[in-house]
Amino acid sequence: MRIELINCEGAVLKCTINRFGINLFAFLLDGKGYIKFTPILDDLLKYLRGNLPLENVLESAEEIKINNIIYDFNDIDLNTIHSVKKRLTDHSKLDIDFLSLSKLIAKVETLHKRKYSEILGNNTRNMNHNSSSSILQSVIKSIKEMDTVKLSTLLDEDAEYMGVSMYMFLASLRDKFQDFINNGDASLHAHKIMQDNLSLSSFVFRFKGNKSKMEFNLEFRLKSKNSIKILEYKN
């Protein structure tokens, strides 16, 4: 399945879906070739629905190649990529193939539901913070207990959390926990916030001190059965 989403002034964005996965192709400025990347399904859906610019999908991509050479996102000159700062809805309606777009959204939604049904081992329609994966429950429990040592065993030391390394993230969280302790808190209450714009694999929790009532929010995205991404969440 190969779909051309945008064709504007020579700037073409194509998406291919096969048994190996999903890839996006974007042609570079000044005829310098193309960029190919494998998007995270969550972010691809948000882009297709007009909720994210292409840059955000590229940043979270699993693999990025420019003219068939692998690149790290931080080494890419975004100014060379057509429409990278734009959301899909920022383009003229004349440039978008809406029939192909609707087919692609339906296909990606099907793949997305299938993937997370397999990851969680249950039906995604019944998924909530009590029936979701054990990794999410364990991470939430560690934060409620303000236990960064336990939390460190659940995270990937090679991954980034809230834009920094695992160790910097844990140090920042440890400082935050100390503020709660200094204000008389022995633990945190966790409350799941309902957000209609989130994907099936994303959850936002509000953590509140048991005495001080100080609070903060975090977003959790399930990447696999034993892997989770943590982001800062702001209302």
Residue 224 one-letter amino acid = S
Q: Which token pair is 23? A: 């890839």
pLDDT digits (tens, 9 = 90+) for 40-58: 877 888 888 888 888 888 8
Q: Give the Cα separation of 46 and 105 in Å (integer).
A: 10
Q: Which token pair is 173? A: 């969280």
Helix, strand, coil shares of the chain, percent, nearest 5, are 35, 30, 30
Q: Which CATH architecture has domain 127-232?
A: Roll (3.10)
H or E stretch covering 65 = strand 63-66
pLDDT digits (tens, 9 = 90+) for 83-138: 888 888 888 877 787 777 887 888 777 776 666 555 444 433 434 443 346 788 89
Say what the pTM is.
Answer: 0.50
Domain ranges of the chain: 2-120, 127-232
List of residues 6+ apart from 152 with CB closer than 8 A: 166, 170
